[in-house]
Amino acid sequence: MENFDSFALRHIGLSQTDIDLLLDQLGYKDLEEFSKSVLPKNIFIKEKLGLSDAMSEEEALKVLKEISKENVVYRSFIGQGYYGTVTPKVILRNVFENPGWYTSYTPYQAEISQGRLEALINFQTMVGDLTGFEIANASLLDEATAAAESMTLAHRVGKSKSQRFFIDQNCFPQTISVVTARAKPIGIEVMVGDPKQLTDLKEETYFGALLQYPGNDGAVIDFSQEIVSMHAQNGLVIMATDLLALTLLKSPGEMGADIAIGSSQRFGVPLGFGGPHAAFMATKEKYKRSLPGRLVGASIDEDGRTAYRLALQTREQHIRREKATSNICTAQALLAIMAGFYAAYHGPAGLKQIAQSVRSKATALAKGINELGYDLKSSSFFDTVTIHTESETQEIFSTAQDQLMNLRILDANHISISMDETTTDQEIENITKLFKDLSKKRKGCFKLRAANRYHKII
């Protein structure tokens, strides 16, 4: 492309004159000679990298736009930890698209990072409030790795001598995969099963248990019993949870759990094909010094002004090194900040209203489908409705696809549908109609299984 628009000329801060000046000062003829003097000869490459030629900014954007168009945006009702959300435009433009927020470095230099630190402590407070714990960190990489980190935290701080860890089978499959994979090299034995097993445990069976609330299938279950019995045998309980649901539900803290983890994605952070999003971890005061990741705390400056800064830096892994138990360093600050601002933008009452509206959408959907004779897997849910679709599973899924909607095949006999902030009444109607059309096609009368008929949900 025409070189007046060469991006490299803009990206590189030194002009050719500057470069010549510096080379001269250092006593070299040109950049090549200089580079050869810096690098060992035996590793210096001979050939140019085989990359395509430089493109101008406009050209590259055009090509990438074409590539992006190969993605097709369907309406997603998949859920499974990732939900449609509305990024408030004021946050979009002034945080997400603002170099003042996105370029900056980890706020190690507290004196020049008060805004960023305050935004992160806002995130921590929000997470703490919703999960019912005293303390939360300034983000982890994603929900699944947060779960894995919480397992090792429980291992570390718990009193049990057990090397076994229990995972609720109703956790998201990706969470189960990541936690299981993480357990293996460090010799933790993982059991995946129904949490009901936990109510009757021998001594020190599990050092910890990971329960999901609401579950993978959307069910909302009170785990108080399981927690009591886990505690009784010296185990800790971790709950993987959903911040939006928690505006309406009893919090993990209230329920007696020891740690809560999850993702804050649905607080205004786009799906983005999986990331980046900020995961969170919250726990009790007494474990604060063992929490992985960064933690923003309040202190004072020399004149006694309130001053935020990264707390417990001496604890950071570059100091602990081989004694470290987590390697997390770069986390998800920008996304945590966005999620925290989303909460501040809506305020507690606004968040609750969003949650209520999501729940009533799910209720409406459940009711509509249930009345057509489909049974629900659980009648107590927040945003996700799981339906016994049995032999029709594949057909329903495909029909929805034809209408540019993604439902979720939970397993061969179940479809899950997740509602979120962006779901419209029209869409609920469309989904219901899809089930209706199918059920009409089915000959014979509806099988109404009374036991599982739709009834009051939380």
Partner 1 sequence: MIPLGSCTMKLNATSEMIPVGWEEFSNIHPYAPYDQTAGYKILINDLEVKLSKITGYSAISLQPNAGSQGEYAGLLAIDAFHRSNGDQQRKICLIPESAHGTNPASAQMAGMKVVPISCDKKGNIDLEDLSEKASQHSNELAAIMITYPSTHGVFETTVTDVCKIIHDHGGKVYIDGANLNAMVGLCKPGEFGGDVSHLNLHKTFCIPHGGGGPGVGPIGVVKDLAPHLPSDPLKYEPPSKNVGPVSATNFGSASILPISWMYIQMMGASGLRKATQVAILSANYIAQKLSPHFKILYTGKNGLIAHECIIDIRPLKELCGVEVDDIAKRLIDFGFHAPTMSFPVPGTLMIEPTESESLAELDRFIEAMICIRHEITQVEDGTYSIEESPLRNAPHCAEKVISDDWQQKYSRSVAAYPVDLKGRNKYWPPIGRVDNVYGDKNLMCSCPSMSDYQEES
Ligand X SMILES: Cc1ncc(COP(=O)(O)O)c(C=O)c1O
- With CB under 5 to 8 Å by kind, the binding choice for 86 among ligand X, partner 1, a second copy, none is a second copy
Beta strand 164-168 with 135-136: parallel, antiparallel or unpaired?
Answer: unpaired
The full DSSP string for 408-442 is: EEEETTEEEEE--TT--HHHHHHHHHHHHHHHHHS
Question: Closer CB to partner 1, residue 135 or residue 415?
Answer: 135
3-class DSSP state for residue 311? coil
CA distances from 177 to 160, 274, 281 (A): 24, 16, 19
CA distance linking residue 419 with residue 200, whole number of Å: 35
Residues 139-168 as x/- pattern, contact with partner 1 by CB under 8 A: x-xxxxx-----------------------
Q: Decide if residue 14 touches ligand X (CB under 6 A).
A: no
Q: Decide if residue 358 touches a second copy (CB under 8 A).
A: no
Site for a second copy in 373-392 (CB under 8 A): none
State the minimum distance, in angstroms, from the CB of residue 429 to ligand X: 46
State the minimum distance, in angstroms, from the CB of residue 177 to partner 1: 4
Residue 284 CA to its chain's centroid (Å)? 21
148: amino acid identity, one letter? A
State the minimum distance, in angstroms, from the CB of residue 233 to partner 1: 24
- With CB under 5 to 8 Å by kind, the binding choice for 425 among partner 1, a second copy, ligand X, none is none
Q: Decide if residue 330 touches ligand X (CB under 6 A).
A: yes
CA distance linking residue 55 with residue 6, whole number of Å: 8
CA distances from 185 to 25, 179, 181, 189 (A): 53, 11, 8, 10
Q: Decide if residue 18 touches a second copy (CB under 8 A).
A: no
CB 310 within 8 A of CB 110: yes
CA distance linking residue 239 with residue 165, whole number of Å: 13
Q: Decide if residue 402 touches partner 1 (CB under 8 A).
A: no
State the minimum distance, in angstroms, from the CB of residue 96 to a second copy: 11
Using the rule CB under 8 A, which residue among 29, 36, 93, 156 binds a second copy?
93
Q: Decide if residue 89 touches a second copy (CB under 8 A).
A: yes
Closest C-alpha to 423, from 353, 367, 369, 362: 362
CB 268 within 8 A of CB 342: yes
Closest C-alpha to 110, from 96, 121, 126: 121
- With CB under 5 to 8 Å by kind, the binding choice for 2 among a second copy, partner 1, ligand X, none is a second copy
Q: Decide if residue 403 touches a second copy (CB under 8 A).
A: no
Using the rule CB under 8 A, which residue among 50, 444, 455, 456 binds partner 1?
50
Q: Decide if residue 5 touches a second copy (CB under 8 A).
A: yes
Q: Decide if residue 349 touches partner 1 (CB under 8 A).
A: no
Question: Closer CB to partner 1, residue 242 or residue 375?
Answer: 242
With contacts defined by CB under 8 A, name the span among 56-64, 151-159, 181-189, 211-219 that binds a second copy: 56-64
Q: Decide if residue 412 touches partner 1 (CB under 8 A).
A: no
CB 178 within 8 A of CB 140: no
**CA 130, 133, 139: angle at the middle one, nearest 5?**
75
- With CB under 5 to 8 Å by kind, the binding choice for 354 among a second copy, partner 1, ligand X, none is a second copy
CA distances from 320 to 182, 295, 310, 327 (A): 20, 16, 16, 10
Question: Closer CB to ligand X, residue 103 or residue 330?
Answer: 330
- With CB under 5 to 8 Å by kind, the binding choice for 357 among partner 1, ligand X, a second copy, none is a second copy
282: amino acid identity, one letter? A
State the residues that interact with ligand X by CB under 6 A: 329-330
Residue ranges binding a second copy (CB under 8 A)? 2, 4-5, 57-58, 61, 86, 88-89, 93-94, 97, 99, 346, 349-350, 353-354, 357, 422
